[in-house]
Structure 1
């Protein structure tokens, strides 16, 4: 059974991991919450939309520490999504937001703000992998092929200073989008 810090993390895991046919694991998903021996378990069951392969994933949920929206988890790092996967998700979301938001409709501004907020959350997740007195994500934190590949290609991207610099930039983007939305009212 996988251990997820929140339902959001369990869903994100399902989005990130692909079926053997390179399609999202479960396209049409039934999901429910069970309590087993005092532990909450999120169950996802469905089939691949491409090859019709079926799957069932169970996640024991963290119940001691709540993560407020839009956070993915509490103060501890993920055990099912590695820092490289979080970094890629943050980069991907931020790259979909135009540098110049002038002329965007109110709905486009909302979407852009949501993408930037997600990018912020993803980088905050990467920071959780850095031990308190360390300057970078340790090599041992990478357990996915994508994460190890990103670290090998650009290890400097996993230094605390680089992450904080990008995080400040993303947060300023969120503030700019908030301001643009307020002006459009």
Structure 2
């Protein structure tokens, strides 16, 4: 048997005694990859067999709670992404001349964004201790068919265009 580095032997001993990989890496200075290389038996001999007997791998997963700040950051990122997407759709609408397929894609995108934002808001409300609980109104219900969804999105878009036309007095 060839010489085994001292830190590799220590790492194998610590691992078999149940030490965490973080503690082993800290104590031995091995990288994560090198630690597992030695746990799996180290270098291979001429026959392709590991130099040492591989140790039984263990996996301990600890779940950590998502902090309110992390959740809020994610919600904010999703909101910004939705704003960008809506902005892009508004630009395409302002340019006009969209093909039917593009309009349908934009309508589906808006519907998915609206549902996502509704879900994010509902999830955020669940995590707020003081938030009043409320049921979704009739206007917030999920459309029963794609045609109903198209009519709903078309009506909302028409309202937006009408509002802009009345506010700007110009042609949008």
TM-score by length of structure 1 reads 0.27
Give the structure with the higher percent helix: 2
Give the structure with the higher percent strand: 1
